[in-house]
Amino acid sequence: MTVAPSDDVVARGRRAIVRRKRAGDAQDEYRWRSDQDLAQFDASRPVQAPYESYERNWSFDFRFTDISKRSFAIEDEQGRHIGNVMYYNIDAVRGEAEIGISIGEPRCWSQGYGSDALEAVVRGLFAASDLERLYLHTLDWNARAQRAFRKVGFEISGTSWRDGHTFIVMEVWRESLGQPKVSTERPRVAV
């Protein structure tokens, strides 16, 4: 079994390992983001730029932004990069952040990796921060994703519309998972 070094690991689920991203992850992400079928799950268009351009932008973000503190790779038990999970739109005043997940390897769909990784990250965020609420958007037709999010404790809280697509808004609250409040002098959100 190949597992990321322990200082790389951010969270562990029953099967999924959530780790900090590595430069080599760009190849997988490019393959996933340029796939027409996968793009529909993000209500986006596939990347059409050549890999070299994509990798240059990805590397810049990787090195010079705080994305590494908010975007993580998901691995299976054998250490294969199978997807990503991230949090963003952090609002420290309201105590909330948006979360997103994507399993890019279709062979890993409906295997429990997504809900497993998401649960590990949600619990980790609640344990390491003052966040009270995490929310996400999922396309209204993506019943498989909605089932996975419900397994983690997310409940439907509304709908939203963007670029002709209808999204279901789902949320989970710290108290609904029985997570104790972290008492700190200032909000912390890094996992």
The answer to whether residues 12 and 25 touch, using CB atoms and an 8 Å cutoff, is no
Q: What are the residue boundaries of the structural domains of the chain, listed by start?
A: 9-18+68-177
For residue 72 the two structure tokens come to: 């993580």
| CA–CA distance, 91 with 72 (Å, rounded to integer) | 20
N- to C-terminal Cα distance for the chain?
25
For residue 146 the two structure tokens come to: 């909605």
Strand pairing report for 165-173 and 133-139: antiparallel
The answer to whether residues 19 and 191 touch, using CB atoms and an 8 Å cutoff, is no
Distances (CA, A) of 149 to 9, 34, 67, 123, 135: 22, 25, 23, 13, 10
For the CA atoms of 18, 23, 27, 30, what is the dihedral angle to 10 degrees? 80
Q: Is 121 helix (H, G, I), strand (E, B) or coil?
A: helix
Over residues 57-77, the mean pLDDT reads 81
CATH code, 9-18+68-177? 3.40.630.30
pLDDT in tens, 74-113: 999 999 999 999 999 999 999 999 999 999 999 999 999 9
Burial of 1 (0-12, 13-18, 19+ CB in 10 A): exposed
104 or 6, greater pLDDT: 104
Q: Is 68 helix (H, G, I), strand (E, B) or coil?
A: helix
Helices (H), 12-142: 25-33, 36-39, 51-64, 113-128
62 or 19, greater pLDDT: 19
pLDDT in tens, 17-48: 999 999 889 999 999 999 999 999 989 999 99
pLDDT in tens, 97-155: 999 999 999 999 999 999 999 999 999 999 989 999 999 999 999 999 999 999 999 99
Residue the block writes with tokens 């399993």? 103
135 or 178, greater pLDDT: 135
Beta-bridged to residue 83, according to DSSP, are 74, 103
Q: What predicted TM-score, i.e. pTM, was given to this entire model?
A: 0.86
